[in-house]
Structure 1
Amino acid sequence: MSQVRFHTDLHMHSKYSRACSKNSDLEHLTLWARRKGVTVMGTGDFTHPAWFGRLREALVPAEPGLFRLRAELDEDIARELPPSVAAAPVRFMLSVEVSTVYRRAGRTRKIHHLVYLPDFDAAEAFNRRLAQVGDLSSDGRPILGLDSRDLLQITLNCGDGAYLVPAHVWTPWFGVFGSKSGFDTIEECYGELADHIFALETGLSSDPEMNWRVSGLDGYRMVSYSDAHSPPRIGRETTVFDVDLDYFAILRALRTGAGHEGTVEFFPEEGRYHLDGHRKCGIRMTPEETRRRDGICPVCGKPLTVGVLSRVEELADRKKGVRPDGAAGFRSLVPLPEIVGEVLGVGPTSKKVLAEVDELVAALGPELAILEDVPVDDIAIRSLPLAEAIRRLRRGEVVRDPGYDGEYGVIRLFEPGEAIPADTAVTPPLF
């Protein structure tokens, strides 16, 4: 396939990971990737024996280093989708998130990493080595007593094309820079192998602009993925490439920056760890408030969970708004079901929202295209209030209620109490 611009979502989990949907299988992942407009997906969890067996059974080689569903499985999925998205190509890349827990410099470290491999032989070798460290069958995201540096070495030993990306790097509990158990630099974490790290996952609670404040990160490509625990969450964050549809072309883009077009992001305030606080105590604080209180909760007297914004400010050596030379751009979006839910005044997972999004996808194409590219006038033919919401979204005119201590934030397109525009379209509207 020739060079194209496409969305990738390379961090997700299967039904074999804890707290994940029983529908997190290849068929549902493919269906939702088409609905969302994602072309390349991570398989997630390839270290789990049962999932690895299913991957080998259901996937066949496609472009170099990529896989697709067997034809008969793919045809069944296409029949469930409207023509606007049924034929969209979906490819898989072998991926897994590994949680490492270990002691370093007198502290317990808990760091998550994303590992990618181009073929099943390399994945099998990786699995054999990790099985010597811990039980791979207990969780799709294996939790291992292994140093981050050693995990990187094991990855590199799997041959050409194997690479590792630190996951959600600012998350307090499991990020490489996390406030609870992380490091201050990539070099501290990965030692003499640090030069083999060339990309960092921003996570839901940060965006590239926040990362730009740390000059030591200028040499890394920023990637963003959904970390989906259920298929409908696919594509809430993506990384965009303009390269051949090919594992090794994606890898070259991450190494060099050529063809790495940027990311689609949550507004970082929507992430679960953007600000500081204590969820149980109902306390949420900005970094300035946390510093004034010496990081102590005024209700229970215990240390606050210090969020991503505070940790970025702690390591920052630049003011906000400075974009490093050569840095790829990004776009902040709100998932389409959340917008439709706000317009309808119901929850984003309600049957009413799902039905309306189904109709929008059938009429206008995949969800990401509706959010990014479909002309607002075309959306207005379907629904004036939705068109106004998406117009505001594209301009960044949103109301932000930040998340903290594991509680998701809320992004709204209309102010509380604001009258949502009435629908007066001549064509029968959706809403």
Structure 2
Amino acid sequence: MFYADLHIHSKFSRATSKDMNLENIEQWSQIKGIKLIGTGDFTHPEWLREIENKLNEAGNGLFTLKSKYRLNLPEACQNEVFFILSSEISCIYQKNGKLRKIHLLLLTPSLKDVYKINHALNQIGSLLSDGRPILGVDAKELMKIVLELSPETLIIPAHAWTPHFSIFGSQSGFDSIEECFEELTPYVYAIETGLSSDPPMNWRLSKLDGLVLISNSDAHSPAKIGREANVFDTEINYNSIAEAIKTGKGFIGTVEFFPEEGKYHYDGHRTCGIRLSPKETIKRNYLCPVCGKKVTVGVMHRVELLADREEGFKPPQARPYFSIIPLPEIIGELKKTSAQSKTVLEHYSKAIHSLGSEYDILLKKDLREIEKFDASLAEAIKRMRKGEIIVEPGYDGEYGKVKIFGEAVETTIKGQSLLF
């Protein structure tokens, strides 16, 4: 069994850290506990040159970092990391009288396939301007082009519920996969749920029952790697991983970011300090109860509009998931300081050296071992594992908050079952 984060970005993507190079990506994958990581951005010529120069083909459709580029790590985190060729494409086009902005994640088995795909896409638009290229092509047509050149490539709708850039986005998406991909819909085997939604939200749509729900970090900086991931129980090679995504066999479940932390999870009006659930918004006719103006509609509302099942429904084929709070955030709460502070980073480093990778600490490590290192950290992780956390959903551009201790305004206690 291993963890896989299939969607990240390189330093050549817009608004991405210059530290997103292959050396740091491998190092942070080990720190987090990720065994399989996407390369990201294989469409970008300069990034592709780095992939060619710094990675070795492992002979299984995957790649490893050449030893001369490897960075030092705590012994407790040292583990071989494999790379899978991945990239994200932004398709912006008109369809059925509406502007569409759909992001697609591509997973590809070989550099030979990448060369063919890049050559074809370069005829449509520039691949040099951004690691996530913006192409004026219909998402269905892009799928057709890619599959004709590389039938083994997987094409997955990325962060499916993001308002502005996704297949179900409220601003520029569709109401169904069929509306987007038409006759090519059978080639959509999975969707990426994104940071703003989790499996239970997607279970409410019966039309998604045949799809595997994957989760990835979409990381723009090394420390964000693994904030979401997938759990596989397969051989570590491209064909086995692709088959698990296509059929669900060997796909165990996902590790999730709490979607409530997203800044557009709920509806609301930030100016008036009003946060509303979708049902409350509909009941109030989409108007702010304080000023009477239209509220900003969030991701949860979009799910509510498309859902044909009640909240809490769990289909028979549903896979387990576990929502985590990043370890620096937990330490930050315990230390009563920012997760990015020097104090937190020093304690995080000590925890990793003493206990192992972040995923080991959050998901697997015996609480008695953690207690020997830090009793308060052990208590916090115990509560997180049980889902005994306090949530304030984000709304109208205001990020949500997830806490383990203390009181919060308009809170809910979010329960969950253990993944393992």
1:402–1:93 distance in 2 versus 1, CA, 3 Å? same
Pairwise CA distance, 1:353 = 0.9
Do residues 227 (structure 1) and 218 (structure 2) align?
yes
Do residues 84 (structure 1) and 114 (structure 2) align?
no
Instruction: Point out where structure 1 has 5 or more consecutive residues left out of the alignment.
Output: 418-431
Q: Give the partner amino acid of 1:112.
A: H
Stretches (4+) displaced over 6 A: 298-302
1:127–1:85 distance in 2 versus 1, CA, 3 Å? same
1:146–1:280 distance in 2 versus 1, CA, 3 Å? farther
Q: Is the 8 A contact 2:117 2:150 kept in 1?
A: no
Give matches, 1:382-421, under 5 Å: 382-416=373-407
Which residue matches 1:106? Answer: 97
Pairwise CA distance, 1:174 = 1.0
Which residue matches 1:211? Answer: 202
Which residue matches 2:299? Answer: 308
Which residue matches 2:54? Answer: 58
Do residues 16 (structure 1) and 40 (structure 2) align?
no
Pairwise CA distance, 1:278 = 4.5
Do residues 267 (structure 1) and 263 (structure 2) align?
no
Which residue matches 1:319? Answer: 310
Secondary structure of the residue that 2:345 maps to in structure 1? helix
Pairwise CA distance, 1:293 = 3.9
TM-score normalised by structure 2 residue count: 0.94
Secondary structure of the residue that 2:379 maps to in structure 1? helix
Pairwise CA distance, 1:280 = 6.1
Pairwise CA distance, 1:404 = 2.4
Pairwise CA distance, 1:290 = 2.0
Pairwise CA distance, 1:318 = 1.2
Please say which of residues 111-120 and 283-292 is displaced more in the overlay: 283-292
- Aligned residue among 35, 39, 50 for 1:43: 39
TM-score normalised by structure 1 residue count: 0.91
Which residue matches 2:335? Answer: 344
Q: Give the partner amino acid of 1:116.
A: L
Query: d(CA) in 2 for partners of 1:149 and 1:121?
Result: 23
Q: Percent identity?
A: 50
Pairwise CA distance, 1:73 = 1.1
Q: Is the 8 A contact 1:112 1:176 kept in 2?
A: yes
Query: d(CA) in 2 for partners of 1:82 and 1:59?
Result: 22
Which residue matches 2:414? Answer: none
Q: Give the partner amino acid of 1:290.
A: T
Q: Is the 8 A contact 2:2 2:232 kept in 1?
A: yes
Q: Is the 8 A contact 1:172 1:305 kept in 2?
A: no
Aligned residues between the structures:
408
Which residue matches 1:425? Answer: none
Which residue matches 1:146? Answer: 137
Give matches, 1:242-257, under 5 Å: 242-257=233-248
Please say which of residues 255-264 and 156-165 is displaced more in the overlay: 156-165
Q: Is the 8 A contact 1:275 1:306 kept in 2?
A: yes
Instruction: Point out where structure 2 has 5 or more consecutive residues left out of the alignment.
Output: 409-420
Secondary structure of the residue that 1:253 maps to in structure 2? helix
Q: Is the 8 A contact 1:112 1:174 kept in 2?
A: yes
Please say which of residues 289-298 and 161-170 is displaced more in the overlay: 289-298
Q: Give the partner amino acid of 1:44.
A: G
Pairwise CA distance, 1:355 = 1.1
Give matches, 1:95-134, under 5 Å: 95-134=86-125
Q: Is the 8 A contact 1:101 1:110 kept in 2?
A: yes
Secondary structure of the residue that 2:185 maps to in structure 1? helix
Secondary structure of the residue that 2:149 maps to in structure 1? coil
Pairwise CA distance, 1:299 = 7.5
